[in-house]
Chains A and B, each alone.
Chain A
Amino acid sequence: MVISPAFRARFSEAALAYCLLLPSLVFLAAFTYWPIVRSIYFSFHDVMLGSDKIFFLGLENYERLWTDKLFWKSLGNTVFYTLITIPCAIACALLLAVALDSKLRGMTFYRSAFFYPVMIPSVAAGMVWVFLYAPGYGPINSALAALGLPKVEWLYDARWALPAIMFMSIWKYSGYFMLILLAALQLVPRDLYEAAKLDGVSAWHRLIHITIPLISPTLYFVVIIGLLHSYQIFDYVYVMTQGGPADATNVLTFYIYQNGFQYQDIGYASTLANILLLFVGGLIGLIALVFGRRVHYLGH
């Protein structure tokens, strides 16, 4: 058989490509895809941490979800946290970005002031806010008292614990979203604003009808980033409340951790992890479906 030189060249190009991808693929397979495959497999089995024995359970783990009140509570908390925190953080970020998208004095300082929480380890942030929220001597309650308002137990009050963590999350991530949006705003042609101003369009309508449609691809991107960052709520729950009080702050990631490491039930923890992946994946898919087509691509 005669192999043409052109064929040989194409073959060696492909061989080189696979060699270059190999290091990434090894780690990708071992630490991203193998765990997922395994997690699906385990969800149909009874697996205990530290035991080699595996028993087939069929759908039992999934049936257990229906009657597991704590699962529904943690799922509800996760949904509540995600659906409130992300829109609030993005709205806050958008307002900050619009305000900072001008030749304002002290602009760099403002930008850094809003952005620095991103640099702080989640554990440090969580701890400081435990202090700030402290019922007796915490500065937030001191401030409330100074204003003549009733004190709140915050992290020790089942009604307030989750909102308190959500408020902290907004503080931590708005600055990041703001920076990304600011970059997008700087690409919006100035003459669009000027034309609208000449037409007598108010600032609010300029925001709704010009700015937001033009930066919609970036907003879409920020929503996805926000969703992925919302996983980090585990760190805050772990540091600040350990899921309490009365599981008011128990979220899926933390519940998975409890099942896997405290109750050592890997099978059920895997089942929960699959639900979490479905939830986030479904949400991203839904957003892509609803907004993905409508986003206005500037010049693309």
Chain B
Amino acid sequence: MAEVVLQGVSKSYAGRPTVHAVDLAIADKEFMVLVGPSGCGKSTTLRMIAGLEDITSGRLLIDGREVTHAEPQKRDIAMVFQSYALYPHMTAYRNMAFGLLKTSRLSKEEIDQRIREAAEILHITHLLDRKPNALSGGERQRVAIGRALVRQPKVFLFDEPLSNLDAKLRTHMRGELKRLHKELGLTVIYVTHDQIEAMTLGTRVAILSQGRLQQVGAPMDLYMRPANTFVATFIGSPEMSLLRCALKPNGEGSLVHHAAFDTRVPERLEASEILLGVRPEEVIVGAADAPAMARGVVERTELIGSEALAEIRLGEDRIVARTPVMSAPPAGAEVGLNFDMARVRLFDAATGSAMPRL
């Protein structure tokens, strides 16, 4: 069992807070991804878990034991760094053995056995005698993961481990990491700025912005039910369009008024202004003369292979729609638009937080 619990963990540098009271519980064998734009505090949070940064206030528990101010090596964790941080003057083997020699009481034979096992799993047995500068980026990555594996820690920490790899290798290593997590039953906390990495790897994803935890949940949960406009626009590519609309109660439900259209939602909501959140695949583009909720003019169309993205002007706003390549409207065309109103999200325009839907 290896749970990690953060209770109101905060960090400030010279009195300026950079991480605000993060509460987060990572369950055993979970793959938790911390994601957010640069400077959101995700790396600082990870480094606080690792013990590389002091925790200004709050508590950190690993496996039920408080380790808020424990030394890094006493936390039973291992970390894979963005630059891999392999010791350049040691062979891959020595790199993997170094931490064990320092922190464990294992015999030479046991250490050797562990390294051989990890190398087997990672397919790097033939690289063990090489020094890091004789290894490719992907191979270094594997050695860095191997160095963490041999420690057999309770928790694995990854700090943007794939960002130095090229696109193809990144996809491949993503698959590898997933396999390792599943086969070895690892508990992982993984930091990235890449939302696709977050969505594909995480069993749960925690989104941070400006040092605050925005939402924690399963990837599809975040995609379908974002808690606020930040999460809504951060997850998904191209991003969700937000349309500012006036709201009026109307019987059981509400009337939604936008410069380019009027519609209604079944919920009765207590706000005068809302943001209507529409994902590109929730926009149905039709001919200009077909019956439609709203009409707009296509500003530009991008073919991205399997499908097309159309940017459509709608009154003062712009909205992105995903259409099949065959039926992509040309720029300048007038089109009729329908929204999948059952899936569209509503946000309070004043606070940015999501409003409950039926």
| Distance A118 CA – B68 CA, assembled complex (angstroms) | 57
Chain A window 1-30, contacts with chain B (Cβ cutoff 8 Å), 1 for yes, 0 for no: 000011001000000000000000000000
| B56 part of interface (Cβ distance < 8 Å) | yes
Smallest beta-carbon distance A16→chain B, Å: 15
| Distance A5 CA – B59 CA, assembled complex (angstroms) | 12
Smallest beta-carbon distance B72→chain A, Å: 13
Smallest beta-carbon distance A258→chain B, Å: 53
A-B contact count (CB 8 A): 7
Write out the residue numbers on chain A whose beta carbons fall within 8 Å of the beta carbon of B69.
5
| Distance A6 CA – B54 CA, assembled complex (angstroms) | 6
Write out the residue numbers on chain A whose beta carbons fall within 8 Å of the beta carbon of B68.
5
| Distance A6 CA – B68 CA, assembled complex (angstroms) | 11
Smallest beta-carbon distance B220→chain A, Å: 39
Smallest beta-carbon distance A237→chain B, Å: 48
Task: Classify the interface of chain A: helix, strand, loop or mixed.
Answer: helix
Task: Classify the interface of chain B: helix, strand, loop or mixed.
Answer: loop
The chain A residue with its CB closest to the CB of B69 is A5
Tell me the B40-61 residues at the A interface (CB within 8 Å).
Answer: 54-56
The chain A residue with its CB closest to the CB of B12 is A6
Write out the residue numbers on chain A whose beta carbons fall within 8 Å of the beta carbon of B55.
6
Tell me the B49-86 residues at the A interface (CB within 8 Å).
Answer: 54-56, 68-69
Q: How many residues of A contact B (CB 8 A)?
A: 3
Smallest beta-carbon distance A129→chain B, Å: 46
| Distance A148 CA – B272 CA, assembled complex (angstroms) | 110
Q: Which of B54, B56, B68 has the most CB of A within 10 A?
A: B54
Write out the residue numbers on chain B whose beta carbons fall within 8 Å of the beta carbon of A9.
54
Tell me the A197-222 residues at the B interface (CB within 8 Å).
Answer: none
The chain B residue with its CB closest to the CB of A5 is B69
Smallest beta-carbon distance B203→chain A, Å: 32
Write out the residue numbers on chain A whose beta carbons fall within 8 Å of the beta carbon of B54.
5-6, 9
Smallest beta-carbon distance A162→chain B, Å: 52
| Distance A254 CA – B54 CA, assembled complex (angstroms) | 58
| Distance A9 CA – B56 CA, assembled complex (angstroms) | 11
Smallest beta-carbon distance A3→chain B, Å: 12
The chain B residue with its CB closest to the CB of A9 is B54
Smallest beta-carbon distance B208→chain A, Å: 21
| Distance A6 CA – B58 CA, assembled complex (angstroms) | 12
| Distance A106 CA – B200 CA, assembled complex (angstroms) | 61
Smallest beta-carbon distance A241→chain B, Å: 52
Smallest beta-carbon distance B65→chain A, Å: 16
Smallest beta-carbon distance B54→chain A, Å: 5
| Distance A6 CA – B55 CA, assembled complex (angstroms) | 7
Write out the residue numbers on chain B whose beta carbons fall within 8 Å of the beta carbon of A6.
54-56
The chain A residue with its CB closest to the CB of B68 is A5
| Distance A5 CA – B70 CA, assembled complex (angstroms) | 10
| Distance A9 CA – B72 CA, assembled complex (angstroms) | 14
The chain A residue with its CB closest to the CB of B56 is A6
Write out the residue numbers on chain B whose beta carbons fall within 8 Å of the beta carbon of A5.
54, 68-69
| Distance A9 CA – B55 CA, assembled complex (angstroms) | 11
| Distance A5 CA – B56 CA, assembled complex (angstroms) | 8
Tell me the A158-193 residues at the B interface (CB within 8 Å).
Answer: none
| Distance A6 CA – B13 CA, assembled complex (angstroms) | 11
| Distance A68 CA – B295 CA, assembled complex (angstroms) | 101
Smallest beta-carbon distance A125→chain B, Å: 40
Tell me the B263-317 residues at the A interface (CB within 8 Å).
Answer: none
| Distance A5 CA – B54 CA, assembled complex (angstroms) | 8
The chain B residue with its CB closest to the CB of A8 is B69
| Distance A214 CA – B54 CA, assembled complex (angstroms) | 45
The chain A residue with its CB closest to the CB of B11 is A6
Smallest beta-carbon distance A127→chain B, Å: 45
Smallest beta-carbon distance B60→chain A, Å: 12
The chain A residue with its CB closest to the CB of B54 is A6
| Distance A6 CA – B9 CA, assembled complex (angstroms) | 13
Smallest beta-carbon distance B226→chain A, Å: 35
Smallest beta-carbon distance A5→chain B, Å: 4
Tell me the A98-124 residues at the B interface (CB within 8 Å).
Answer: none
Tell me the A61-87 residues at the B interface (CB within 8 Å).
Answer: none
Smallest beta-carbon distance A145→chain B, Å: 61
| Distance A9 CA – B54 CA, assembled complex (angstroms) | 8
Smallest beta-carbon distance B34→chain A, Å: 22
The chain B residue with its CB closest to the CB of A6 is B54
Smallest beta-carbon distance A158→chain B, Å: 60
| Distance A46 CA – B311 CA, assembled complex (angstroms) | 92
Smallest beta-carbon distance B196→chain A, Å: 36
| Distance A5 CA – B51 CA, assembled complex (angstroms) | 13
Smallest beta-carbon distance A200→chain B, Å: 44
Smallest beta-carbon distance A10→chain B, Å: 8
| Distance A135 CA – B68 CA, assembled complex (angstroms) | 82
| Distance A205 CA – B68 CA, assembled complex (angstroms) | 65
| Distance A11 CA – B56 CA, assembled complex (angstroms) | 15
The chain B residue with its CB closest to the CB of A10 is B54
Chain B window 68-107, contacts with chain A (Cβ cutoff 8 Å), 1 for yes, 0 for no: 1100000000000000000000000000000000000000
Smallest beta-carbon distance B67→chain A, Å: 12
- Can you show 7 pairs from A to B with CB atoms below 8 A apart? A5-B54, A5-B68, A5-B69, A6-B54, A6-B55, A6-B56, A9-B54
Closest 7 pairs between A and B when the two form their complex, measured CB to CB: A5-B69, A6-B54, A9-B54, A6-B56, A5-B54, A5-B68, A6-B55
